[in-house]
Chains A and B, each alone.
Chain A
Amino acid sequence: MEILNREPDVSVQIGPLVLPNPVGVASGTFGYGQEYQELLDIHRLGALYTKAVSLEPKAGNKPPRLVETPSGLINSIGLANPGLQVFLDEKIPYLQSLSCPVLVNVVGESESEYTTIVEAIEKRIGDYQEGEKSPVDGYELNLSCPNVDKGGMAFGTEPDLVERITRKVRRLTRRALVVKLSPNVTDIAQIALAAEAGKADAVSCINTVVGMAIDVKTCKPLIARGIGGLSGPAIRPIGVACVWKAARAVRIPVIGLGGITCADDALEYLLAGASAIQVGTAIFSNPRAPLEILDGIKAWMRERNIGTLGEIPALLRFPS
């Protein structure tokens, strides 16, 4: 087969937003960017999904908050974040300096918190001039975080609620709107359909899987709260299956994540139907992973003479 001379086109359309490439960094694993600026070229990322922003500052859960498990990590950070006001005053100026697209991960304890946060951010970025790079290019609604007693979990498991919140936020912004799905549900396709009905531009899946680990010497759970969210390679097969189910159910793009550490892992998701991917826990062990994954995806496309990302899902073949 003749090898393409030209670079494959790796851009991805998410509603009104064009991502320059499919590799984003997942919410909660990359702060608001600044912490990692000395370790990788953030400008080359396909997208930066910020740490969750809540209306009020959140101190988070009692430590220990982390434990490593086979091929995985359980965390119970408790959505610790400085809150909307600090985000507006201190994080936005830095985010504006980035040339990669930025999506703000939004979390609320009530429907009105979601809308209040998005409204406030829209108001603030309205101040930026036409032609200037916007500090925020879209939103990712976190309806699925399993960590907070009163938070995400309930919203993300009920299709009606998902549709309603999505619709309400949709009315407030023309920017890209992504709804992040939890795997801790009976049928993820139903939730994806609800987000689509609410006029989301895309869904992202998956958030962490509920997990627990116990120290048998001390008979204590290894994280203070007992249960937490499992991430890393341990959950990759769950994520790939969720993406496959969601992508078959909806027409809007599906963004895949969960346990992606290398280009092959990312390609599994793209073959399962994902339009783009995010890298989370793998950044902790190798901050350069997202850019190495991007290079690997391009090499794989060149080798197979694939011109655009959109051609990849059709390559998935089942044994006849």
Chain B
Amino acid sequence: MMRQFNAPVVFNQAVSQGWKLLAFLWPQDLAPPIPGQFFTFNPQGLQAGNAGLLRRPLAFAFYGRGLAFALYQIRGKATQALAAFAEGSSIDVIGPLGNSFPRPSAGEQALLAGGGIGIGPLLYLHSTFRDFKASEGATLAASPKASRLFLGFRSASQIPSFILAAERWEAQNRSVEGTGWYSEPYRQPVLAGLSDLQHSLDQALIATDDGSRGFKGTVVEALLQHPSRNVAGEAGVGIGAEAGAGAGPGVRGEAGAGAETAAARKRLYACGPAPMLSALDDLALHRGIPAHLSAEQWMACGVGACQGCVLPARAGGYLRACADGPIFPQGAILWKS
């Protein structure tokens, strides 16, 4: 069920260079968004003049305690208008939209890869796994074995700090404590959400294009070259090369061919620029790993009516990013066409 509603914005603060985090109140009688889903907002309602005709899609980066979060990069007119939006005013939202990431099955290891504007949905997915132990209240579901989060940024300056944002927000608002939106019952849910987001981020393996933090290179390279044995003392955490060329699908190096163990089964989740998704789609095919890739395309309606947001399907024809996706299984989309 989707709905159009005006949502009070309770948080809209910078988290890194050119990036902001938005939190708004979710209607209590509407099903909460799940990881992979998105919403659209109407930039016209934000700013006088031609801020933009079309609604813009953003993925959910977190949901908890009645608040929905989105992590967004300030790019053009619409995201600039959103960035200028004051806490306490309302935003015109349609959501939740699109399908969602399927849960990993018990015993599967979830590999999560996010790049650029695709980071938000993977932070959210990560926060719903049982090996995620942060503040109470986050939705906990099926337990993948030692999920692993890989996040790619252009450089260190783009890596968000949710904790610093929380501190700045508290300092900013201390003088007006008890009034408006910076007050219970909203202050604690915002801070708890920020702390959950930070908790996921802290567990991520970071890759930067310029090497200014973590692994130097792309997320895909990080995933391939990850020294898998040092995570949770368990082999096969990345899609590391140690599996050896020629090893069968899903078979990890040291176990030997034919000895596919539950611990070695993996499932890949990804969101990011098309070249990244294309590379991961190929990789998942060659390693026989099931994969779920979140696509992006220009949207007009966002609800499946206009056929504007399509991607070429491997099976022929086209699929709508908004209504058939945004999450597509490995092999569904022709990323290079």
A interface residues (Cβ-Cβ under 8 A, vs B): 28-31, 35-36, 38-39, 51, 59-60, 62-68, 70-73, 75, 77, 80, 232-233, 281, 283-288
Contacts and interface: CB of A to CB of B under 8 A. Distances in A.
A30 B303 CA distance: 10
Given A60-B310, A60-B318, A73 B54 contact: yes
A65 to B, nearest CB: 5
Contact of A70 (B50, B55, B301, B317): B50
Given A31-B305, A73-B300, A288-B4, A68 B53 contact: yes
A11 B55 CA distance: 32
Nearest to A57: B317
A281 B312 CA distance: 24
Contacts, number: 97
B201 interface: no
A282 B309 CA distance: 17
A60 B310 CA distance: 10
Nearest to B92: A286
A174 B199 CA distance: 67
Interface residues of B, number: 34
B53 A232 contact: yes
B106 interface: no
Among all A-B residue pairs, the 9 with the closest Cβ atoms: A31-B305, A35-B305, A66-B308, A80-B307, A59-B317, A284-B300, A66-B298, A35-B304, A35-B303
Contacts of B195: none
Nearest to A32: B305
B53 A28 contact: no
Interface string B52-83: 11110000000000000000000000000000
Contact of B308 (A75, A233, A285): A75
Contact of B1 (A38, A72, A80): A38
A281 B301 CA distance: 9
A36 B302 CA distance: 10
Interface of B is mostly: loop
A67 B300 CA distance: 9
Nearest to B304: A35
Contacts of A70: 50
A283 to B, nearest CB: 7
Contacts of A232: 53
B305 A233 contact: no
B14 interface: no
A287 B53 contact: no
Contacts of B50: 70-71
Nearest to A286: B42
A285 B310 contact: no
- Most A Cβ at <10 Å: residue of B42, B302, B307: B307
Contact of A287 (B4, B52, B297, B308): B4
Contacts of B298: 64-67
A35 B299 CA distance: 15
Contacts of B4: 39, 286-288
B227 to A, nearest CB: 38
Contacts of B308: 65-66, 75, 77
Contact of B53 (A29, A30, A281): A281
Contacts of A39: 2-4, 94, 303
Contacts of A38: 1-3
Contact of A66 (B2, B55, B92, B299): B299
29 contacts: A29-B305, A29-B306, A35-B305, A35-B323, A36-B303, A39-B3, A59-B316, A60-B307, A62-B337, A63-B311, A65-B309, A65-B310, A66-B300, A66-B306, A66-B308, A66-B309, A67-B298, A68-B52, A68-B53, A73-B54, A77-B307, A77-B308, A283-B301, A284-B306, A285-B53, A285-B54, A286-B42, A287-B94, A287-B303
A279 B94 CA distance: 19
A62 B311 CA distance: 8
A155 to B, nearest CB: 22
Contacts of B54: 68, 73, 284-285
A64 B307 CA distance: 11
Contacts of A65: 298, 307-310
Interface in B257-307: 297-307
B301 A29 contact: yes
A138 B52 CA distance: 35
B55 A80 contact: no
A220 to B, nearest CB: 14
A72 B308 CA distance: 15
A35 B42 CA distance: 18
Given A65-B310, A75-B300, 5 more contacts: A28-B306, A35-B305, A35-B323, A66-B308, A284-B300
B158 interface: no
Nearest to B321: A63
B44 interface: yes
B307 A35 contact: no
Interface string B80-110: 0000000000001010000000000000000
Contacts of A77: 306-308
A31 B55 CA distance: 18
